Amino acid sequence: MGVITVSVDDKVEEKFRRLVAEKYGRIRGALGVAVTEAMKLWIETVEREKK
């Protein structure tokens, strides 16, 4: 499993964390699950745009 350290806008982080907590609760690993989901969607979008 890879580890990525990034900096994001404070407002984006706050909203993302709030929505992750709403969807998954405050379970351990929820942020990782949500970030992985977001990255997969982004990858699909970029690959679709390349066609």
pLDDT in tens, 1-51: 899 999 999 999 999 999 999 999 989 999 999 999 999 999 999 999 998
Q: What is the largest CA-CA distance in the chain?
A: 38
Residue 20 burial by Cβ neighbours in a 10 Å radius (0-12, 13-18, 19+): buried
pLDDT at position 26: 87
Q: In terms of residue numbers, what domain contains 23?
A: 10-50
Please state, in angstroms and rounded to a whole number, the distance separating the CA atoms of residues 25 and 18: 9
Q: Domain for residue 2, yes or no?
A: no
The pTM of the full predicted model, rounded to 2 decimals, is 0.86
Q: Domain for residue 3, yes or no?
A: no
Q: Domain for residue 32, yes or no?
A: yes
Q: Domain for residue 4, yes or no?
A: no
Number of domains in the chain: 1
